[in-house]
Amino acid sequence: MKPRSIVNILPAHALKMGPVTVHQPLPTQRVEQIDPFLLLHHFGPWEVEPGYDPLDLGPHPHRGFEPVTFLYSGGLRHRDSRNNTGILKGGDVQWMTAGMGIIHSERGSKEFLDQGGTLEGIQLWVNLAPEHKFVQPRYQNVKAEDFPRHDFGNGASLKIVAGEFMGVKGPVKTYSPVTAWQLELPAGANVMLPVPEGYNFAAYLLDGEITSGNGFNYEGRTLLNYRKDGEGVSLTGKAEMTRILLLGGIPIGAPIVQQGPFVMNSQTEVLEAMRDYKMGKMGFYID
């Protein structure tokens, strides 16, 4: 299997968001998107005192894409205008399709706020194709124990969130072909991961250090964007343990106009989204 080469190395830069700082490797001035992936925020790890909520995101709207939360540790509570309520713990994944429009909030769960502890996760924005921009909103809250895993036999372990690996499918449903895997890679372990032809592919290192197929080392809080010049990616662990989020998908190739929480294909559609939100067409949120 010929390994893909790396076209962009995107270090995550610190971004102040209210009282907290998150790390953002995508988008950057050089790379606006890795189609269909629009944005990646790595929050934490934060040591949180009981009673304090560093990620108190009150009710806000979305339209035209899928906001996804990978929670690595801590506890979050989701609530939205479609009467969905979800409690996330470490290892859970929340995959929400905003579609035609939804209002939601994400806050610390009561259990986590009572006890405190470490909070860490990733928020990912996945674009929707023009024909799916106005689908009915959908909420998927998948628990850690419900994800299939692949053990490589060398200490490395892969959690299959979406897409397929070695004939095993992840439980998350997507509107376009998308791969989302979470890899734990110990020092000295090598894995070769097949990537479907035509997929864009990227690997975000939360921490640790790896050697990729080109022999260069890369450290945590770095996003590696691969060319479509091979059949897979080769990764070798250099630190005691490296955690990696692996993302692949068929590019949508449609124009993007984004303003705040709306991702559409034209400025007219963005203005319509603002109007519809103000008129209550995205539902009403009751906390």
Q: Where are the domains of the chain?
A: 6-278
Dmax over CA atoms of the chain, in Å, equals: 57
Alpha helices in 32-148 (DSSP H): 110-115
User: For residues 113-129, b (16+ Cβ closer than 10 Å) or e, as one string?
Assistant: beeebebbbbbbbbbbe
pLDDT at 123: 98
Arithmetic mean of pLDDT, 94-117: 97
Query: What is the average pLDDT value for the chain, to the nearest integer?
Result: 96
Residue 19 clears pLDDT 90, i.e. is over it: no
60 marked as binding residue? yes
Residue 280 Ramachandran class (φ > 0 left, ψ -120 to 50 alpha, else beta): left
Quick check: pTM over 0.75? Answer: yes
104 marked as binding residue? yes
Residue 287 clears pLDDT 80, i.e. is over it: no
pLDDT at 120: 98
Q: Are 69 and 86 in contact (CB under 8 A)?
A: no
DSSP annotation string for 248-274: EE-------EEETTEEESSHHHHHHHH
What is the identity of the amino acid at 196? P
In this predicted model, what pLDDT tens digit does every residue of 44-94 receive, in sequence order? 999 999 999 998 888 999 999 999 999 999 999 999 999 999 999 999 999
- Please report the sign of the dihedral spanned by the C-alpha atoms of residue 215, residue 216, residue 217, residue 222: negative
Q: 242 by DSSP, 3-state: which?
A: strand
Q: From the CB of residue 93, how many other CB atoms can be counted at a distance below 10 Å?
A: 27
User: For residues 235-254, b (16+ Cβ closer than 10 Å) or e, as one string?
Assistant: bbbbbeebbbbbbbbbbbee
Tokens of 209: 């250090």
pLDDT at 213: 76
d(CA 100, CA 127): 13
In this predicted model, what pLDDT tens digit does every residue of 175-231 receive, in sequence order? 999 999 999 999 999 999 999 999 999 999 999 999 987 789 999 999 999 999 999
What is the 8-class DSSP label of residue 98? -
42 marked as binding residue? no
Fold of 6-278: Jelly Rolls (2.60.120)
Residue 286 clears pLDDT 80, i.e. is over it: no
Report which secondary-structure segment, H or E, holds 75. Answer: strand 75-80
User: For residues 196-215, b (16+ Cβ closer than 10 Å) or e, as one string?
Assistant: eeebbbbbbbbebbbebbee
Number of residues that make up the chain? 287
Lowest mean pLDDT among 56-60, 129-133, 263-267, 272-276: 56-60
In this predicted model, what pLDDT tens digit does every residue of 86-98 receive, in sequence order? 999 999 999 999 9
Residue 43 clears pLDDT 90, i.e. is over it: yes
